[in-house]
Amino acid sequence: MNSSPAMEPDAPDLVCQLDNVQGMVDALTCVRWKRHQDALVELSEHGIVLIVEESGCLQAKVYLQRELFTKYEYGAEGRPRFGISLGLLVDCLNTFSSPGHSNTIEIKYPGPDMELLLKYDETITHPLCSRSLADDGCGFIRSVDTLNSCIYSEIRTRIPETSEWDYNFEQAGAAPLTFTVKSAALKEAIDDLEWPGSSVQISLQKSPPCVTFRGEGHGDLQIDFMYYANTDLLLAFHCDTEVSYGYKYKFLKATTANIPGNVARENRGSKLTIGRGGMLKVQHLVSVAKALAPQVESAGYQPPSRIAYIEFFVKPEETA
């Protein structure tokens, strides 16, 4: 057996450090469409994956690769999995996030009782000045007071159910059916489609190349993204067979409802793919980096290691 000195039998499966808690909160909030959701977390040497699911029709995954962390010490054999409450995890992480402070938190798994452990330590040097009479008649004594504060948390985890949550996304045909649209525009379109109060039909048309979102309820609303007309909104498009599928509004809404504000600010695009049988895959990129000074950011470019990948899978409605 090949074991380094660090891999003792009781070494934790994972010890990692994150320097931007708010980024992680943003990424996880993307997949939070209900107040209470049970999530499945899988740890590996590549990073952390969190999966949530609803009624067999909607699944979301958050990929946090190890490069997002300032430290990532993986000591498990295989890939440990556990269940955790998503809402609790997000609300808890949110307490570690303090505006104006740079917080590096440490996440460890497992704790003595298989909990997920979080910790933040801060030492503030607090200068104290007081006047004193020195030889020259006037002087200052400077002493330094250190104040320590910390935040800690233990979150209970569950043994996950054994049933597989793999939605088996397969390519529709010889070539993928996919388009990339401005995330902000996608969110706006889906928000607008609430009005008809019906399910949403997504159609891909070959010529002219166009994506259509349509709702027919107590009113009709159709939103077209034409590929050549506006390459600002529709950034990529590939379709060699025309397709059209319907999706329940609330599941489609869940894919964009909680995209964080920085996605729009950074002008990101979301990629949508329609797979075999009409399964819809929606992919977003969420920045997990600390906000840099405006002059340092260039046209929304972020080094790949500071991005979390979010994926949604939505099953189409059964056709009668």
Q: What is the C-alpha to C-alpha distance for residues 266 and 210, in angstroms, rounded to an integer?
A: 25
Which amino acid is located at 161 in the chain? E
CB of 129 to other proteins, least distance (A): 12
Token pair, residue 272, equals 């949508």
Task: Specify the residue, 98 or 305, whose C-beta has the smaller distance to other proteins.
Answer: 98
Instruction: Please tell me whether the peptide bond between 160 and the residue prior to it is cis, using omega within 30 degrees of 0.
Output: no
Q: Which position among 154, 188, 194, 224 is part of the footprint of other proteins (CB under 8 A)?
A: 154
Task: Specify the residue, 44 or 97, whose C-beta has the smaller distance to other proteins.
Answer: 97
Which amino acid is located at 139 in the chain? G
Using left for φ > 0, alpha for ψ between -120 and 50, and beta otherwise, residue 219 falls in left
Map residue 265 onto helix, strand or coil.
Answer: helix
Token pair, residue 18, equals 């994150």
CB of 17 to other proteins, least distance (A): 18
Q: Which position among 146, 162, 295, 298 is part of the footprint of other proteins (CB under 8 A)?
A: 146
Cβ(247)–Cβ(319) below 8 Å: no
Token pair, residue 171, equals 């390519």
Return the range that interacts with other proteins (CB under 8 A); candidates 145-153, 246-254, 262-270, 289-297: 145-153
Residue 155 binds other proteins (CB under 8 A): yes
Map residue 162 onto helix, strand or coil.
Answer: coil
CB of 113 to other proteins, least distance (A): 11
Number of residues that bind other proteins (CB under 8 A): 21
Task: Specify the residue, 118 or 272, whose C-beta has the smaller distance to other proteins.
Answer: 118
Residue 11 binds other proteins (CB under 8 A): no
Q: Which position among 70, 98, 230, 267 is part of the footprint of other proteins (CB under 8 A)?
A: 98
Q: Considering only CA atoms, which of 245, 246, 264 is closest in space to residue 188?
A: 264
Task: Specify the residue, 144 or 174, whose C-beta has the smaller distance to other proteins.
Answer: 144
Cβ(205)–Cβ(283) below 8 Å: no
CB of 123 to other proteins, least distance (A): 9
CB of 138 to other proteins, least distance (A): 19
Task: Specify the residue, 130 or 163, whose C-beta has the smaller distance to other proteins.
Answer: 130
Residue 295 binds other proteins (CB under 8 A): no
Task: Specify the residue, 66 or 119, whose C-beta has the smaller distance to other proteins.
Answer: 119
Q: What is the C-alpha to C-alpha distance for residues 118 and 111, in angstroms, rounded to an integer?
A: 10
Cα 229 to chain centroid distance, Å, stands at 31
Residue 148 binds other proteins (CB under 8 A): yes
Residue 151 binds other proteins (CB under 8 A): yes
Site for other proteins in 56-95 (CB under 8 A): 85, 88, 91-92, 94-95
CB of 128 to other proteins, least distance (A): 11
Cα 247 to chain centroid distance, Å, stands at 22
Q: Which position among 55, 149, 162, 163 is part of the footprint of other proteins (CB under 8 A)?
A: 149
Task: Specify the residue, 85 or 244, whose C-beta has the smaller distance to other proteins.
Answer: 85
Q: What is the C-alpha to C-alpha distance for residues 316 and 33, in angstroms, rounded to an integer?
A: 19
Cβ(44)–Cβ(74) below 8 Å: yes
- Can you list the alpha helix ranges (DSSP code H) found in the chain? 21-29, 86-96, 183-192, 249-254, 261-265
- Name the residues that contact other proteins, by CB under 8 A: 85, 88, 91-92, 94-95, 97-99, 145-156
